[in-house]
Amino acid sequence: MNYAMESNPVPKLITEGFVTYSFDDYSQSIDNFSSLKFSMYQFMASYDRLPPDAYMNDGGNYRFRRFARFMLDTKNNELTQLDSGVFYQSKMVNQLNGGIVRSFSEMETEHSGNLFLKNMIQFHANELPKNKNGKWIIYVHQIRIVACSKSKGIPTPEGIHQDGHNYVAQIFLSRKNVSGGKSMLFDSNKLPLFETTLIDTLDTILIDDKVLYHYVTPIMPDAPDQVSYRDMLLIDFNLTGENL
């Protein structure tokens, strides 16, 4: 995987705590990006088969998800899939669903090796400050939030929060018949810093999760009698032991 981008936005990630990207940014920076479109649409289609998230302590049935883990060695660009294992966030990080070990449904085998997904992982890893051992433990979440006329969809039921990782790439894939879903960032004092609504495929926010907080407003259907959903790909980057 080779990338053509010459200027790296790491200084902005360091000074402001976040960087945004669009479809054009990826298409101009990733070699042969057009060849990934088929893989991307395959990956997006798999969201129709996401199972319900069984760990919603608010009793909500609006979230569907799958999960995978990887190890990335940036020194040789080697991406290795790990056992999906379990996912844990402390109660301090996630007041709603934290404090328990969660075992999410695994990502479908044919998509955990998807070329589009691999390139998204590699691209964002290349945008991060270098760490000493060159390795990241990476969590990948496929998440669909649904809404209906009688029930709103809540992308961040835990409220304004951090996820407990080093960096998080929030990659928008699709939304249908949706109102709302505004993405908001907050500084370390939880004061508003930035807001936008992710609308176009691959609209992305890469966040320093140790510095900033984030939140997404609830969604509701534009047309009450039609399906309403918002699909996101979240990529969490975690240091493997050494500090930056």
The model's pLDDT over 167-188, given as tens digits with 9 standing for 90+, comes to: 999 999 999 999 999 999 999 9
Predicted TM-score (pTM) of this structure: 0.89
The pLDDT of residue 94: 60
User: First-to-last CA distance in the chain?
Assistant: 24
The pLDDT of residue 53: 85
How far apart CA 117 and CA 168 sit, in angstroms, is 15
How far apart CA 225 and CA 214 sit, in angstroms, is 31
Q: Fill in the DSSP letter of residue 62.
A: -
How far apart CA 231 and CA 241 sit, in angstroms, is 32
pLDDT at 89 over 60: no
Higher pLDDT residue, 36 or 241? 36
The pLDDT of residue 244: 40
| pLDDT average, residue stretch 219-240 | 94
How far apart CA 105 and CA 46 sit, in angstroms, is 13
Q: Domains in the chain, start-ordered, CATH in brackets?
A: 16-238 (2.60.120.620)
pLDDT at 155 over 70: yes
Enumerate the β-bridge partners of residue 204. 21, 171
The tokens 């918002």 sit on which residue?
230
The model's pLDDT over 59-72, given as tens digits with 9 standing for 90+, comes to: 679 999 999 999 99
pLDDT at 87 over 80: no
Mapped onto helix, strand or coil, the DSSP state of residue 114 is coil
pLDDT at 230 over 70: yes
